[in-house]
Chain A
Amino acid sequence: MTDLLQFEFMRNALWAALLCSGLCGILGTMVVVKRYVILAGGVAHAAYGGVGLALFLGISPRLGAVGFSLALALLMAWVMLKKASRADAIIGVIWAAGMAAGIIFADLTPGYGSDLMSYLFGSILTVAREDLLLMAGLLAVTLFVGMLWSREIAAFSYDEDFARTRGVPVTLLHFVVVVLISVAVVLIIRVVGLILVIALLTIPPSVAEKYSRSLWTMMGVSCLLSAAFSLGGLALAVRFNLTAGAVIILVASAVYLASLLLPSGGRR
């Protein structure tokens, strides 16, 4: 693999894996503790509709996916606040409708089928420089928000009602976290595809949770696990000429299974 590093696409792939790991570790932890998994899934599939729409309109697919997903993510975030008891069903509808819209737009736009496929399974080996810059930017914003509001985010994650009584801007944090997760999902789709993005967001934090005593440890451990999965998966994919996204997720899933069988470390 070391010889391959002379190629720019390989260096970009490594950077993408590392940046994704940072995003997945931090925001995936929020997805798991706030039970935003269905929201992340909804955003990922809605993104497909955005890509289709962008191709149909002839604008940048990245822009289309981010814009479309963000709009639907805000709608889903609002549904979670106002219709909490039925949020999962409503989000399920948005999820399916977004995906279906993507397929219809693809039908109406001949010749772009393969582009849409790359959003289904991702293509870490063709990640562009702009994608890396976007990921780095989002990671910087996420870290900034996390450090500025660390206590508020911990309280908001643990107990929303109590946090409200202490003056924590719970509604604002809810929307901020949902927006960060949504943009991250769209960017990570480039690397592992929309089918696998949920796994990369949820598996590392699910393993890390067992061994963590604080949200921040959970985030840190998740980042490291995510990096290990991504780099390990990438190496195996290159070595055996397999689809990188799928290998990354299989590596992650294997470790998750192993962690279920192992006794938990510091806790319980």
Chain B
Amino acid sequence: MSEMKNALSFRGVNFSFGTDSVLRDVTFSVPQGEFLIIIGPNGGGKTTLLKLALGLLVPDSGTVSVFGKKPGEDRSVAGYVPQDTGRNRDFPITALEVVLQGRLGFPGAKLSYGGKDREAAMEALKALKMESLAGRSMGELSQGQRQRVLIARGLASDPGILFLDEPLASIDPETRDMLLTLLGELCGRLTVVMVSHDMSAVSAHATAVACVNRKVFYHDSAEIGPDAMEQVWGRCPVELVAHGIPHRVLAVHDHDHGGEPCSHD
């Protein structure tokens, strides 16, 4: 199988924080153009998986590759939309300046952003219907608007693969639907990898699902048709729910938008 056909691949990857094993023997490949949604309980290793793919963390053993290269080797290939923790709400910066950060690290970088960078940034804001708010400071924007700016920043580098960490958490339903539609349109042109708790998003948009809890089980597009998600829950050997509840339970949460399906007690 040609390595180049895969947008992302993990081979025998192990990762631990100190003595705390987070991911064990992770092997899967994501072909180009997929819309992969990563689900699993809190602390199960979803964000760690993204950070390994981005090169922000380095595996203890095994290899990660993005379009056949080491993560971080080719900066232009991956876009990143980190989880919006609201930590930086008061930071003095406009939406446009945030999106421009996505243009950093381009070859031949000068001391300041050029006209081409601004064009690309405005283009990305337009895709998210945020161009009219480009000059607003981030602190003035709503949570959904801020999330759209962060996605525009991830897209500003015109990446081949876009990684999103919980972009649907605590945003309004309207923005949520708009984002899912947009990401659905984008996949095919680029590969989308999204960590989410939103089960209805999985049913409606995912072409592949990775269940993550220390181990990773990858369900590819052949396995999940539009109606076959139920079967995925039944078949996946990864324990997605704490305390031994089988993750068939998850399907119950199909209409629980942005809910927290993985913390039953």
Give A contacts to B, CB under 8 Å.
Answer: 33, 147-148, 150-152, 154-155, 157-159, 161-168, 209, 212-215, 217-218, 266-268
Contact = CB atoms under 8 A, between A and B. Distances in A.
A167 B93 contact: no
Given A162-B101, A164-B55, A266-B137, 15 more contacts: A147-B111, A152-B104, A154-B101, A158-B101, A159-B88, A161-B51, A161-B82, A162-B153, A163-B101, A165-B54, A167-B75, A167-B104, A213-B137, A215-B92, A268-B139
Contacts, number: 81
Contacts of B92: 33, 209, 212-215, 217-218, 267
A86 to B, nearest CB: 13
A150 to B, nearest CB: 7
A166 B111 contact: no
Nearest to A217: B92
Nearest to B159: A165
What is the interface residue range for chain B against chain A? 20 to 34
Contact of B93 (A158, A161, A162, A166): A158
B153 A33 contact: no
A266 to B, nearest CB: 8
A151 B90 contact: no
A163 B153 CA distance: 11
B105 interface: yes
A214 B90 CA distance: 11
A209 B94 CA distance: 13
Contact of B101 (A159, A212, A217): A159
B102 A154 contact: no
Q: Can you list the 8 inter-chain pairs with the closest CB atoms, starting with the nearest?
A: A167-B105, A166-B104, A212-B92, A166-B105, A155-B101, A165-B80, A167-B75, A213-B137
B26 interface: no
B94 A213 contact: yes
A167 B54 CA distance: 11
Nearest to B78: A165
A155 to B, nearest CB: 5
A153 to B, nearest CB: 11
A168 B80 CA distance: 14
Contacts of A159: 82, 88, 101
Interface string B83-100: 000001011111001101
Contact of A166 (B91, B98, B102): B102
B76 to A, nearest CB: 10
B29 to A, nearest CB: 21
A209 B88 CA distance: 12
A161 B140 CA distance: 23
B33 interface: no
B137 A158 contact: no
Contacts of B88: 158-159
Nearest to B83: A161
Contacts of B178: none
